[in-house]
Amino acid sequence: MTFCYLALAPALVLFAYVRVVPIVESVILSFYRWDMIRPLKPFIGLRNYEQLLSDENFLLALKNTVVYSVATVVISTLLALPLAVFLARKGRLAAIYQTIYFLPVITPLVPMAIAWKWIYDYNYGLLNYALSFLGIGAVPWLTDPDIALWAVIIMSIWKVLGYNLILFLVGIRNIPEHYMEAASLDGASPWQRFWHVTLPLLKPILLYVLVTATINAFNVFTQVYVMTLGSQAAPGQALRVLVFDIWQNGFQYLKMGYGSAEAVMLTFLVLGVTVIQFRLVRHQEA
Amino acid sequence: MRRNGKPLGARILIGLAHAILLLGAIFMVLPMLWMLATSFKPAPETALWPPVLLPQAPTLANYTSVFETAPFARFFANSMGMSLISTASVAVTSLLAGTVFAKYRFPGQTLLFGLIIATAIVPFESYMIPLYLQLNAIGWINTYQGIVLPTLFMSFGIFLMRQHVASAIPTDYLEAARIDGASEWWILVRVIAPLSVSAFSTIGILAFIQAWTAFIWPLLVANNQSLFNMEVGLTVFQFKFSTDYSKLMAGSVISTLPMLIVFMILRRRIIESVALTGIKG
């Protein structure tokens, strides 16, 4: 028995100190006006939450984060699924494609965000050059917040596509061969086979992809910070997403209680969306 | 022969699939190629219109000047050191906790394991404020230990090790060792650890990637340039040289390269490992 506790101790101490305590503490902090620079930190009940609901920055961040998450998750899933079907048959070419599509997943986010910033450059960027052939004038990709949202979405789809692809590929390759053969013998077209055999069997993987992609999308920060912040990290025209807003309230304005209330909202949002996705996919199975 | 036997419609469909795959692949590698090409261009070439893909007068000057203007060697060493420490710690804590959860029984076990797994869904970003205050109270802000602390254990590592030990190592082995008089620690080190190489490599890869790409926490905790990892160092560097893209791309290549090299060597293993779980983007 002592062995059990001694062996568990390192993981448990870390788990408690780095995760459990701060999670509980963030809920507690959210009920206080806890400003770093003020000596008095009074208990104010739900006032931080009430204030958030009429805070323009928060509402904008919420809207942007939801649009970003829905667009990134839906588009990357819809693109990855047919690509996985194309690549399902094993072979040299499939392996090469698999590696290429996976490259963005493995590359660190900061340097790639900078590379994309260069592609999106207003004056000399590759993208505006390509668009000029289509007769489209220069687009201010990163300086107009509404467009910047889509610039970040495109970059993020590029980053996560390969991850979703690999998961779908694993799922499709695990479907027993005879299911497909039976469907073919019954005269099912490729489209029918996909719709009635592949997709239903892929549901657990689809759920996993949706959940992980959504959780990651709601926490988007790095590419937003790197690509849309001005020089010297001035948050002038930055694209406002939830984690950015939490970061700004907590660490620039030093309003730790207010930032924590916002963080608690983020957690509930992530949990809520996850539960809904579970329900939806389960429901369709029944 | 078989392909010729297919109807025209199917052949068009296959051709279309190949075209889409190829276009997608170009879209995937183009940003990296553009980064690489730009890093070898003298600064004036980045302001050419129309842009030229390949450098006309290739130069290594951007790389040397990156190392002169910012301590990239230091950033690199920091990233490497912190990632290795994190990987080692995750491996050890996962082995210990995973084994206990798999092979031993104690009160509250199921609840505790469930808690470790379930809390992994809570975004780190949502409790970074109190964590910052905790570390501030013990003076760990702006220290190495403060930066690596949150990456020293991993829920998924514990989960994976538990699954592995429970399914791949028969309890008979442990019983046999016990009858021979082996202590529980001896069993852990001499029986379980050597039989867990594949689980270790998966956990190690994930832990290393997670630590190497850590961004928001090092950004908050590291105030001194000497503590920056590659990700934070590069970000600060880009705010200083926000218009000099040839230099920025050289810096970006330097910080991408280690990951790419590791990926090329361990390609299959990494794809399998990552397919097992989500790495945080």
Domains of chain B, residue spans: 70-276
Query: What pLDDT shows up at residue A236?
Result: 60
Segment holding B150, helix H or strand E: none
Q: What is the pLDDT of residues A227-263, one digit of tens each?
A: 988 655 555 667 899 999 999 999 999 999 999 999 9
B248: distance to nearest CA of chain A, Å?
8
Query: What's chain A's Rg over C-alpha atoms?
Result: 23
B211: distance to nearest CA of chain A, Å?
11
CB < 8 Å to B48, chain A: 124
A18 assigned to some structural domain: no
Give the residues of chain B that fall short of pLDDT 70. Answer: 1-5, 277-281
Q: Which of B25, B48, B184 shows the shortest C-beta gap to A3? A: B184
A226: distance to nearest CA of chain B, Å?
6
A208 assigned to some structural domain: yes
Query: What pLDDT shows up at residue B280?
Result: 44
- Architecture field, domain B70-276: Orthogonal Bundle (1.10)
At residue A201, does pLDDT exceed 50?
yes
Over residues A98-117, the mean pLDDT reads: 94
Locus of tokens 């503590």: B227
Which CATH number do you get for residue A167?
Answer: 1.10.3720.10
Distance CA A144, CA A121 (A): 12
Q: What is the pLDDT of residues A70-83, one digit of tens each?
A: 999 999 999 999 99
Distance CA B141, CA B223 (A): 8
* Number of domains into which chain A is organized: 1
Query: What's chain B's Rg over C-alpha atoms?
Result: 24
Q: What is the pLDDT of residues A45-65, one digit of tens each?
A: 999 999 999 999 999 999 999
Query: What pLDDT shows up at residue A204?
Result: 85
Please count the residue pairs, one from chain A and one from chain B, whose beta carbons lie less than 8 angstroms apart: 266
User: Which of B30, B63, B127 to mutate: most A Cβ within 10 Å?
Assistant: B127
pTM score, whole prediction:
0.92
What average pLDDT is seen over chain A?
Answer: 90
Contact B248 A118 (CB under 8 A): yes
Distance CA B187, CA B182 (A): 7
A279 vs A230: which has the higher pLDDT: A279
Domain that holds residue A206: 49-285
Contact A111 B267 (CB under 8 A): no
B70: distance to nearest CA of chain A, Å?
15
Query: What pLDDT shows up at residue B49?
Result: 80
A274 assigned to some structural domain: yes
Contact A86 B13 (CB under 8 A): no
Contact B275 A218 (CB under 8 A): no
Distance CA B153, CA B143 (A): 18
Contact A103 B260 (CB under 8 A): yes
A161 vs A182: which has the higher pLDDT: A161
A27 vs B239: which has the higher pLDDT: A27
A113 assigned to some structural domain: yes
Query: What pLDDT shows up at residue A237?
Result: 63
- CA B58 vs CA A228, B38, B276: distances in Å: 30, 9, 42
Contact B216 A222 (CB under 8 A): yes
A31 assigned to some structural domain: no
The amino acid at residue A160 is V
Query: What pLDDT shows up at residue B281?
Result: 37
Write down the H helix ranges in A107-228. Answer: 109-119, 126-133, 145-173, 177-185, 190-193, 199-201, 203-218, 222-228
Residue B109 near residue B234, CB atoms below 8 Å: no
Q: What is the pLDDT of residues B208-258, one digit of tens each?
A: 989 999 999 999 999 999 999 999 999 988 887 777 889 999 999 998 988
The amino acid at residue B218 is P
Over residues A16-44, the mean pLDDT reads: 94
Contact A17 B213 (CB under 8 A): no
Residue A166 near residue B274, CB atoms below 8 Å: yes
